[in-house]
Amino acid sequence: MSVRQPRSAHIRAAHSNGSETTIETTRPGQSMELVGGSNDDGDDLSALERIITPSDAQVAMRPVSRKKQTSILLCAFFDVFVTIGLNQAYGVFLNHYLSMASSDKDPFLPKSEVTNKAMVAFVGTLAAGLTWGGSIFVNPIMARTKDPRYITGAGAILVGLGYVLASFCNRIWQLLLTQGFIYGVGTSLLYFPVVSVAPEYFDAHRGSAMGIILSAAGLGGLAYAPAARALLSKFGAAWTLRIFGLVNFGISIPVALSTPPSRSLTKRPTLVDAKLAKRGTFILQAVAAMAQAAGNFVPLTFLPEFSTRLGYTAAFGAALLALNNAVNTVSRIGMGFVADSFGRQNTLVLSVLGSAITVVAFWLSSAHADDMALWITFVITYGVFAGGYNSLFPTTVIEVFGPQAYASVSGFIYFIRGLGALWGSPVGGVLVTDGTGPQAYITLIWYDFALLMLSSICVIGVRGLDAVDKGQFKLKA
């Protein structure tokens, strides 16, 4: 192989088959384009990996084609559908476990097992927390694994196995192990290798691309929530869990087989740089991530049961959860397009602050007034605002910290989000007071508002400090 570097700052690598690959090197802060390769997807580029050095380029990237972008969109979309989407439907299982424990219709769990509402809620939040929190372990594994499909393949097996094994349980600790831990580890192995690299394949339309990908969370909840309600009513918990386990297998295996490699041709650090970790933007980003994750899952977890406190059926509660997910799906896509036009950080602030305001304006009011119209208004407006953080957070990480630090920063922030998801709903369950009316939820609602307001203050702080770090304030950022 011969290598030469002309004055134009291009590197040309000649391959043994006669093909030639060109890399445009850049100064820090500039973008880079890699053109050519030995195949359409640019996967056989070992020659390039040997010629890139830090002095040559900040980041060396695989080439991107429209076909590759479409493939990644589909892979990441169904990845999010089966991981985050199912997590968002756990509230239906929670309501069923609590209501059926004292019934002969579906004695899946003994009544003695559901006296601690926080522990029953923890099954779902454990799975959700591990989905993101597992990134602290998955990220280093990715750096040491040549083919990410080995990681996502293991995840696909666990995602299905967790639910199938849960169908044979009759104790909360067993559900924590299966529907919580095993499924949660599986979702982390399946989710992070795909979603963490997807933003790398999009540049100008990164916000809208991630909006489309992460809209699958809402669409997944829209599909899983009513399906769970219907299956639980007809077949009971055991067979519903088995059916969902098989569905998980069916969706996850194709996702695992089509997992893309990182676009970066150079190994990126998996640990956050100590200097970067001391920056105000990083600290505030981490606090915002934990508070938002903790607060975001509270309404989703307790939505079906709160509906029954207003006097409506469990089926109607599941329908409202599906409605929330439907609105959330459209909102994530819309937020992505808005972010590309008006700034990703600006839209992120709007999303988090808007979700906090809806909690105190509509959910709290519905609890005080025992008003169904206010409750439905909350379900819709919260769906509009709450999904924005999830779709915009990955794009703002690249914008604030740069592409070279994306792998390490996003891995750590996802871990922080996982920790927040772990304790958000269980603590909320403890705050629900005795009583049968919606007023029992007032303390929990204030708690949720406080978490989301804390996150709002932090993302506003990130917006300001990032402008200070860059030496200029732009209206569009």
Domain of 286, CATH number, reads 1.20.1250.20
Looking at the fold, whether 20 and 75 belong to one and the same domain comes out as no
Name the DSSP letter for residue 134.
T
pLDDT of residue 269: 64
75 within some domain: yes
d(C-alpha 206, C-alpha 221), whole Å: 24
pLDDT of residue 66: 83
Q: What is the pLDDT along the chain (477 residues), one digit of tens a residue?
A: 444 444 444 444 444 444 444 444 444 444 444 444 444 444 444 343 333 333 334 557 777 778 888 899 999 999 999 998 888 888 889 888 887 765 667 667 777 777 777 788 889 889 988 988 888 888 888 888 889 999 999 999 999 999 999 999 988 999 999 999 999 999 999 998 998 888 788 876 777 788 788 888 888 888 898 899 899 989 988 999 999 999 999 999 999 999 988 877 666 666 777 788 888 889 999 999 999 999 988 998 888 888 888 888 878 888 888 888 888 888 888 887 888 788 888 899 999 999 999 999 999 999 998 888 999 999 999 988 987 787 787 778 878 887 777 778 888 888 888 888 888 888 888 888 777 788 889 999 999 999 999 999 999 999 999 888 888 788 776
**What ranges in 176-273 are assigned the alpha helix state H?**
183-195, 206-235, 237-257
- Count of domains in the chain? 2
Q: Which residues contact 385 (CB under 8 A, 6 or more apart)?
A: 331, 350, 351, 352, 354, 355, 358
Looking at the fold, whether 335 and 372 belong to one and the same domain comes out as yes
pLDDT of residue 58: 52
Looking at the fold, whether 358 and 383 belong to one and the same domain comes out as yes
CB atoms within 10 A of CB 53: 10
pLDDT of residue 108: 79
61 within some domain: no
pLDDT of residue 421: 85
pLDDT of residue 79: 95
pLDDT of residue 59: 59
Q: Which two tokens stand for residue 350?
A: 């709007």
Q: Which two tokens stand for residue 288?
A: 């915002």
The one-letter amino acid at 251: I
Looking at the fold, whether 14 and 83 belong to one and the same domain comes out as no
pLDDT of residue 265: 64
CB atoms within 10 A of CB 4: 9
Looking at the fold, whether 170 and 317 belong to one and the same domain comes out as yes
Looking at the fold, whether 229 and 305 belong to one and the same domain comes out as yes
SS3 468: helix
Looking at the fold, whether 45 and 71 belong to one and the same domain comes out as no
Q: Residue 315 in contact with residue 227, Cβ under 8 Å? A: no
What distance, in Å, lies between the first and last C-alpha atoms of the chain? 43
pLDDT of residue 471: 80
57 within some domain: no
d(C-alpha 465, C-alpha 454), whole Å: 16
Containing domain of residue 23, as a range?
Answer: 3-51
pLDDT of residue 391: 74
Looking at the fold, whether 122 and 16 belong to one and the same domain comes out as no
d(C-alpha 462, C-alpha 360), whole Å: 24
415 within some domain: yes
Extract long-range pairs of 116-121: CB within 8 Å, 24+ residues apart: 116/172, 117/429, 117/432, 118/426, 118/427, 118/429, 118/430, 119/172, 119/176, 119/426, 120/94, 120/172, 120/429, 121/94, 121/301, 121/302, 121/425, 121/426, 121/428, 121/429
Q: Residue 455 in contact with residue 326, Cβ under 8 Å? A: no
